[in-house]
Structure 1
Amino acid sequence: MLHVATFEQAKNLLELKFGKCHVGKEPIALIDAVDRVLAQAVVAKEDVPGFDRSTVDGFAVHAADTFGSSESMPALLRNIGEVTMGEICELRCERGECVAIPTGGQLPKGTDAVVMIEKTEDYGGGLIGITKSIAPGENIIFRHDDVSLGEEVYSSGKRLKPTDIGALAALGITEVLVAKRPMVGILSTGDEIVPFDTTPQIAQVRDVNSILLAACVTQIGGHARRYGICPDDDGMLEKRITLMARECDAIFLSGGSSVGAKDALKRTVETLGEVYLHGIAVKPGKPTIFGEVEGKPLIGFPGHPAAVYFIYDLFANPLLRSMMGEIDPLPSPCFRAKLASAIPSNHGRQEYVAVLLTIEEDCFVARPLMSKPGLITQFARADGYIEVPRDCEGFSEGEQVTVFAL
């Protein structure tokens, strides 16, 4: 009989066994660092921006010279020159004077605000009328408003977005230290499995799971190495898993973790290392294995592709993020939606039900995809899923539920 762990117990077990299992570090060029995880904090080596500058086209002024000005009674200032983009401004502006300035131009000495060009009138002969009062600091970005010298810009463990790459470029950073991409070995097991690019015979099925897992690993930033298909033979499994443990940072196996007479996978893992868990109270994905071989974390996924995806999303994805040292990853986007049809009790297991999302009368409506196990194309159509807690008797038609995006 399979003795199962709760979802919480399984999560805690992974953290306990592999929470300190990290891949190495490597320096890479900034341009190649998008979606990589920082392995050390980034500290600013200069102020950004490095000078006070205008955010609009207009005239740099002493703000006090504009107080009380209006269209009917403009403040009159003398234009003493113009700021040139890309050049140091040597002009000094005294009270009663102004300087023409473009967006991004360096603020002349003595000025503390910029009037937008639309709020000025050129009366000729260097005389400029200001038709709106402005406050000190208006339309200006001051030196180090963005980042100050010595400030920690990003902490270790942050996954870099394209906007982060731009921010680091603004700091003059050309190289960053990041976590290496974990090498994940992927093996499909089962006498009935054939390569996905061949035509299966009766009683055979294409290898979907290794391709699915490879795509998931690649998406998160890992290297996926597929080790083909292995029949349910203890000796052959032992050789293949030993090779994977030698060459990879983590081991993903699929297809051989169902309880039965041909449970060669569990026996082999016990021979080579240790099985920490066999069975989780979730649906789909109950016959999942957690183990370790030569210090490498091992997950034995169920045979059905939908179950493979959910187990990956719930357990393998956080494991790989942890191995890269990623901290506080953003949760999956979620939506509140009205349930189009009832979802019955989940029989004591935490259940995950794929749904289609539609918009009706300006509200999201979730339509459960109650497909049979093993039907991958129906699952692939899903927009998200609903989590049904193990102590919940299900949801009623019309009830508001949370849908997590896939």
Structure 2
Amino acid sequence: MEFFKTILIEEAVNIIKEEFKDYKLESEIVDLDDAYDKVLYEDVISKEFVPEFDRSTVDGYAIVAEDSYGSTDTIPTVLEIIGEVKMGDRTELVVSSGKCAYVPTGGMIPKGANAVIMIENTEKMDEKTLLVQKPVRIQENIIKRGEDIKENEVVIERGKKLNPAHIGALASLGISKVQVFKKPKVFIISTGDEIIGIEEKLEFGKIRDINSYSLKAQSKKIGLEVVGNIIVKDDFIQLKEAILDGLEKSDIVLLSGGSSVGERDYTKEAINSLGGKGVLAHGISIKPGKPTLIASAKGKLVIGLPGHPVSAMTVFMAVVEPFIEKLYSLNTIKPTIFAQMTENFPSSAGKDTYVFVNIKKEEGKYYATPKFGKSGMITNLSKADGYIVIKIHEEGVNKGEIREVYLL
């Protein structure tokens, strides 16, 4: 029996990036309504100012701020009302000392005014007389022209995954279509005589296909398009045909199971029979997930993941996600927090150890408690809030230690 030689996670990631360094994602133009959660292909540069004019952030009166200094309920400042700004219209009103003009929220600030006093801090004596009962600062309740977005400013950078705030910013600029990356396609294969579909009757010795569903969800989360998935028995011909089918339909093929070194694990043999460079690495120094296979077949990436669900998902996060981030030029960072460990936890000698944790917040501080469980237990991950990584050179983590937690 042939045993694999393990490499570091960093080496595995670098092997993939180097082998597929010339692979480029194409772009497409989509409507703004369809742009949410897609990755921006190029910088969005504003061609205008937002707002286009100085405008009020409240309903109130545009005034000269200095007129309000010292104003109180008992000793108000008396101002002359010279008119009203109509919402959506340009105003030709000019405010000088001793005068004011009504402005609605979002309305244009008249020339000469340098503040807006909220309507609730005033009292209107008659149609021409206003009592100001509170002082305001210069520029209070005013958003200046271009204060939100300036002309020729980079509003959103290439590689940003578009969220609702980004969509709003694009709408503010009148952008109805946006150039985004096309999603890489992925094909998922679950292997093993014991694997059955989730709708099949569960018989003794059989296992429902967990990995197809968890890997599909992980793939969609990081911006992949899942174009197919299949269950294949431990048969060389069937496995080879399934991989070929996946290579024709997708950019990346993920296999779960069959990446070990057992007598009936045909993944390595099947991949090497397809032409191309074949298997590039077999075995990663990671727990859980050691028996991982990295290959190039017909110029496309093939990853052989362990069969245990938690191991497969862990390797996906450790190896596949960094490659996809590089393809997308993603400049977002996986969300993390810093938390205090509530228990000691040992590392596995010679491996990077991924430890899933639960997070609790008390009095403004985060606390992380390790979840103990084996790599075949999917609930070990489904009930976790995040994970920490104990690097290969570390002996473990100690109770009370502050660690970076990657949120799931």
Comparing 343-352 and 118-127, the one that deviates more: 118-127
Amino acid paired to 1:8: E
1:333 aligns with 2:350: no
Residue of structure 1 aligned with 2:359, choices 336, 357, 360:
357
Q: CA contact under 8 A between 2:352 and 2:392: conserved in structure 1?
A: yes
Q: CA contact under 8 A between 1:346 and 1:392: conserved in structure 2?
A: no
Distance 1:34 1:208 in 2: 28
Residue of structure 1 aligned with 2:64, choices 62, 65, 71:
62
Distance 1:77 1:70 in 2: 14
Distance 2:300 2:179 in 1: 24
Q: Give runs of aligned pairs for residues 241-280 of structure 1, distance below 5 A.
A: 241-272=243-274, 273=276, 274-280=278-284
Structure 1 spans left out of the alignment, 5+ residues: none
Q: CA contact under 8 A between 2:341 and 2:368: conserved in structure 1?
A: yes
1:309 aligns with 2:320: no
Distance 1:111 1:35 in 2: 42
1:7 aligns with 2:40: no
Q: CA contact under 8 A between 1:214 and 1:225: conserved in structure 2?
A: no
Distance 2:72 2:404 in 1: 54
C-alpha offsets along residues 329-363 of structure 1, whole Å, 9 cap, x if unaligned? 222323313323x3234121111122233456875
Amino acid paired to 1:27: I
Residues 380, 78 of structure 1: alpha-carbon distance in 2 compared, 3 angstrom cutoff: same
| 1:300 paired residue number | 304
- TM-score norm. by structure 2 comes to 0.92
Distance 2:155 2:145 in 1: 16
| 1:187 paired residue number | 189
Q: CA contact under 8 A between 2:40 and 2:157: conserved in structure 1?
A: yes
Amino acid paired to 2:392: R
Q: CA contact under 8 A between 1:23 and 1:249: conserved in structure 2?
A: no
Residue of structure 2 aligned with 1:52, choices 51, 54, 62:
54
The count of residues paired between Structure 1 and Structure 2 equals 404
Q: CA contact under 8 A between 2:347 and 2:353: conserved in structure 1?
A: no
Comparing 121-130 and 42-51, the one that deviates more: 121-130
User: What is the aligned-residue identity percentage?
Assistant: 39
C-alpha offsets along residues 269-320 of structure 1, whole Å, 9 cap, x if unaligned? 1222321111110001111111111221111101100001111111112222
- SS of 2:179's partner is strand
Comparing 295-304 and 17-26, the one that deviates more: 17-26
Shift of 1:92: 2.6
Amino acid paired to 2:341: K
1:282 aligns with 2:286: yes
Amino acid paired to 1:287: P
Residues 140, 397 of structure 1: alpha-carbon distance in 2 compared, 3 angstrom cutoff: closer
Structure 2 spans left out of the alignment, 5+ residues: none
| 2:103 paired residue number | 101
| 1:136 paired residue number | 138
Distance 2:316 2:22 in 1: 19
Q: CA contact under 8 A between 1:68 and 1:133: conserved in structure 2?
A: yes
Amino acid paired to 1:240: A
| 1:170 paired residue number | 172
Alpha-carbon RMSD across the aligned residues, in angstroms, is 2.1
Amino acid paired to 1:262: R
Distance 1:38 1:365 in 2: 35
Comparing 294-303 and 372-381, the one that deviates more: 372-381
Amino acid paired to 1:241: I
Q: Give runs of aligned pairs for residues 182-261 of structure 1, distance below 5 A.
A: 182-261=184-263
Distance 2:366 2:158 in 1: 38
Distance 1:125 1:162 in 2: 43
C-alpha offsets along residues 185-215 of structure 1, whole Å, 9 cap, x if unaligned? 1111122222122123333222111111111
| 1:41 paired residue number | 43
1:405 aligns with 2:407: yes
Amino acid paired to 2:300: K
Q: CA contact under 8 A between 1:210 and 1:226: conserved in structure 2?
A: no
Amino acid paired to 1:46: E
